[in-house]
Amino acid sequence: MNEPKATVLPVYFVADESYSMVNDVRDLNTGLVTLFDTLQGEAMAAAKVRFCVLGFSDDAVCYLEPSDLRYVDHVPELRARGSTSFAAAFSELSNRIPRDIRELKSDGYLVNRPAVFFLTDGAPNPGDGWEAARTQLMSLPGHPNILAFGIGQADADVIRQVATAPKYAFIAAAGTDTGVAISKFVTALTQSVINSGTALATGQATLQVEKPDDFVSLDVDPV
């Protein structure tokens, strides 16, 4: 029996591409370039992560299949389009995560529970069934940890419902410029990926989460 090659962490960056992002998608794409550049300079951490980029609006589009960023030479480019279907995003994750895990295992890797970094600037389409789609996703044996980040007009209660734990729910502080919030989010995402990859390389299996500056943690229980 062959020994496993290594343990890897699938990370899915799931970005809202609805038309409300039209003035901010450039900042998001600039942030992705910085993220890719930084990860390519962190070889030990990057080797432990398989990074996937998904965008969603009326439907979900995969811009980068789960990849070792040390060997990616093209940064995907998101765009603003359509409405805000959370259901499309969660359905796409339900379809692809089991397949991605199977493929990684068939390549000889041990696979940690995936992490989804979900960024939205608005409210989900009314009545699109996103709650049921999320429930379906979370019923999978390889269901992910979902970290939800709200910017712009995002609703804190919705962000709490999307995240798989209160400690994984964050919203930009009132008055924060959306472009600034995106920059802070990407910085935190980059550091979370580096920290998680480095932890895996040293035998730790804990997901490392960096809270973005100018974001508020929703890990509170109002009374």
Q: How far apart are CA 103 and CA 205, in angstroms?
A: 20
Q: How far apart are CA 48 and CA 202, in angstroms?
A: 10
Parallel, antiparallel, or unpaired for β 60-67 and 215-217? unpaired
Phi first, then psi: give them for residue 115, nearest 5 degrees. -120, 130
Q: How far apart are CA 117 and CA 169, in angstroms?
A: 10
Which residue has tokens 């029996």? 1
What domains are defined for the chain? Answer: 6-217 (3.40.50.410)
pLDDT at 32 over 70: yes
User: Amino acid identity of 162?
Assistant: V
pLDDT of 13 reads 97
Q: How far apart are CA 130 and CA 60, in angstroms?
A: 13
pLDDT of 223 reads 46
pLDDT digits (tens, 9 = 90+) for 122-165: 899 999 999 999 999 999 999 999 999 999 999 999 999 999 99
pLDDT digits (tens, 9 = 90+) for 99-127: 999 999 999 999 999 999 999 998 999 99
User: Amino acid identity of 26?
Assistant: R
pTM exceeds cut of 0.85: yes
